[in-house]
Amino acid sequence: MQHLSSVRMSALRLLWVPVLLCLTHAWLCHGACVEVDSDTEAVMGLGFKLGCISCKMRGEVPASATVDWWFMAKGESEFTHIYSYADMTGYIMDDRFDERLAWNGSKKTDDVQDGSIYILNVTFNDTGTYRCFFDRTLVFPNYEYRTNATKFISINVVGKATRGMASILSEIMMYVSIIGLQLWLVVEMVYCYRKIAAAGEEALRESETKKSLKA
């Protein structure tokens, strides 16, 4: 009887290994990236983050991506290429933003999911529509798959900071997404544990039955 209890305890300890692996896999695949809309109101003379996040649908698949930004000032009808990011290096493409744009996205990786940039010393001339373009290549064992994503952000420059409803809702949605992911991970852990525990108990019962028949 004591031997059987020891076997059960050892089996339960081993069951936690795949549970933890399952939880880690879920976190790496789903918990590392959350798409949040950019703020849309910049203040004259201050800095402003142009947010652009494009999460991979398959988080476990290696990938590389480049990011390009275009700008169409208020009153204009065409977009102008202002910034390019590739091979972990950013390039300012428009003299209007010379020494005023900085990379604020994913660091030290070609697998870019956050393509945000930062505008220094905002001016009223920065009012307009910005276009963020992701060009991504997913690397599978036997082939590569190319995909892209485009996002538009309309920015209004004001003389004094006012927090708009869009900014408040964006922040709320960010926290809701984070909480939702945490709850999903808990459910995933419980599901994995129950499934593996049930398999372990079934194996123990079969082992006990075989021993009884041999006896």
pLDDT computed for residue 15 by the predictor: 45
Q: Cα 21 vs. chain centroid, distance in angstroms?
A: 20
pLDDT computed for residue 191 by the predictor: 84
Average pLDDT over all residues of the chain: 82
pLDDT computed for residue 11 by the predictor: 45
Query: Which DSSP symbol is given to 53?
Result: B
**What is the three-class DSSP state of 119?**
strand
Residues 119 and 142 sit within 8 Å (Cβ to Cβ): no
How distant, in Å, are the alpha carbons of 15, 33, 56, 140 from that of 180?
A: 26, 13, 18, 29
Tokens of 66: 């480049």
Kind of pairing, strands 41-43 and 144-158? parallel
Label residues 36-67 b or e (16+ Cβ within 10 Å = b).
bbbbbebeeeeebebbbbbebeebeeebbbbb
Is the Cα torsion angle 68, 151, 171, 26 positive or negative in sign? negative
Q: Cα 106 vs. chain centroid, distance in angstroms?
A: 10
pLDDT computed for residue 200 by the predictor: 79
pLDDT computed for residue 186 by the predictor: 86
pLDDT computed for residue 194 by the predictor: 84
Residues 141 and 26 sit within 8 Å (Cβ to Cβ): no
Stretches where the chain sits below pLDDT 70 are 1-32, 162-170, 213-215
Close Cβ partners of 149 (under 8 Å, ≥ 6 residues apart): 54, 133, 134, 136
pLDDT computed for residue 168 by the predictor: 67
**What is the three-class DSSP state of 35?**
coil
Q: Output 9-17 pairs: Cβ under 8 A, ≥24 positions apart.
A: 11/200, 11/203, 11/204, 12/197, 12/200, 14/200, 15/193, 15/196, 15/197, 15/200, 16/193
Counting Cα atoms < 13 Å in the Cβ hemisphere of 129 gives 10
Is the Cα torsion angle 193, 196, 198, 201 positive or negative in sign? negative
Q: Measured between alpha carbons, how far is 138 from 63 in angstroms, rounded to an integer? A: 4
pLDDT computed for residue 169 by the predictor: 66
pTM above 0.85, yes or no: no
